[in-house]
Structure 1
Amino acid sequence: MSLPTYDQLMLPLMRLLSELDEPIKISDAANILAERSMLPEEQLQKALPSGKNIFKDRVAWAKTYLVKAGLVQQPKRAYCEISALGKSIELNKLSEITNEYLSQFEGFNDFKFSIKKDQNDELLQSNRSDIHVYQETQTPEETLEATTEVLISNLKNDLLQMIKDKTPSFFERLVVDLLVAMGYGGSHQDAAQAIGKTKDGGIDGVISEDRLGLDKIYIQAKRWENTVGRPDIQQFKGALADQVAKKGVFITTSNFSKEAIESAKKSGIVLIDGDKLTSLMIEFGLGVQIERSFHIYKIDQDRFDEDNF
């Protein structure tokens, strides 16, 4: 059983509000609807990448759409109640409330048109053919999150292909840049002297874990297409043992087999595959630049706290 979409929550929310004689906090309404949904707890605890609870966020957006249609009103912040217009609707005769149903109300049409225009303008400015057009069942935040995931996924694929097109020495320098960006190796010069110089039985380089060089991390960097298997990890493990090394990182442009992952876990070797590599590059701004940015604002409650004035 999957989570209901925000539009599937509009009728349950309306019915709940029609049962009440006073306004209710939207958070409390969400808790009641969650209990009535009979959904498993793991479903109800699902969150967006931003950390927001999906079910509660969808209830909040269901409320917003109903408010724009005039069926629900907000007497004060975070509270809602059914409006006079909402009370005039025979909810027991409805099987669902959809955006199409709400389109009969002028306020909702104005609201919906502005959202679709803004989002479609954003999507049309992109050259990516695999970004889908705005979906009616998604909240605006879910649409934003999904579009961002598509853009990042495509960026990661492009990054990985560019790395694979370069030479092994380029990949080694890239590893240096990444590790330094992450705070390892002291200075870039120290790291550059360490990486790509050792070539000792499966070790491509050694880098300081901290600026004082108190501990060392041994590196294996493989610009490969094929899956890295258990024998490769075993070889690296043996090289670490020869150096009496405690810490090792195996970085590849491909991926690791299940057996390789299990072998690495037993030895404390950190594995970075192509997907993780490109994620770290994006996180630390290596090989990428910001094309454009925007801010999502929320109410500053302190500014409206009268006790502060």
Structure 2
Amino acid sequence: MSKRKGRSAEFVKWFGPLLDALRQLGGSGSPREVSAKIAENLQLSEEQRDEILQSGQNRFHNQVAWARQYLVWEGLLDSSKHGVWALTSKGEEATLSVSQSREVFRKWVKIHAQARKKSETEKTRTVAPEADDEVDSPEVAEAAEKTDLLQVLQSLTPHGFEKVCQRLLRESGFEQVVVTGQSRDGGIDGYGTLQINPFVSFKVLFQCKRYKGTVSRAQVGDFRNAMIGRAEKGIIITTGTFSSDAVKEASRDGAPQVELVDGEKLVEMFHRVELGVKPKIVYEVELPFFEPFMK
């Protein structure tokens, strides 16, 4: 994508819709819920919702995440790091037109430019994109390890990925987890038992897809067909993404439910159980605090 100096980044168009979506969700929501509500409100096409960047990120989610970051800087959303986006009291009353969104964008690009000039030796900071939205979203950049976890998972052998998923399921509370993937058992790579309480447990089948592509609706349907008569619950784990139609198919009424774990959620699960990763503290500069002192 070509850059033109002074042109607003494409993600600016989501500022207003993001605020509207959060209000409709009651003032807060997960990133996935917010993106889904925006897509629903604006009737985005499947192509718009499912486009993938070269980095492997979903373009739409990437842009919405950057929009959220600017609204945090503007004080309209809080800066929670717990996977929930929420309106501040200021944000609850705010509406942004396209022109107002551009003003917010330009304001924070200018503030970041001033901060860079005053601190060229700063080693780590959240860089505000000026016109190119094809960069990692702030949340992805913030969570990335020195060696990107998703890239490591994508570099595993197919059987190695199945085995590490087996370990992840065990760490997440599953028991009797068995990998059967090498037998190509109708698309089923393994199964396990999830104990809900001392009285209730159920069998869960899982499938592992180690690639950067998008899992289609047909692939979800094929997996469900392989589940019939064998389990009431299934999980598809991928280092890629799921198409919008695949998400709908997974939760279709009257059919066995299929849980979908895409690359982003997979990384979150590894972080949650601290499997193959080590936690570290990262301090991020809160530029809104310093804004009054830059004038």
TM-score normalised to the size of structure 1? Answer: 0.47
Whose helix fraction is larger, Structure 1's or Structure 2's? 1
Q: Which has the higher contact order (CA 8 A, sep 6+)?
A: 2
TM-score normalised to the size of structure 2? Answer: 0.49
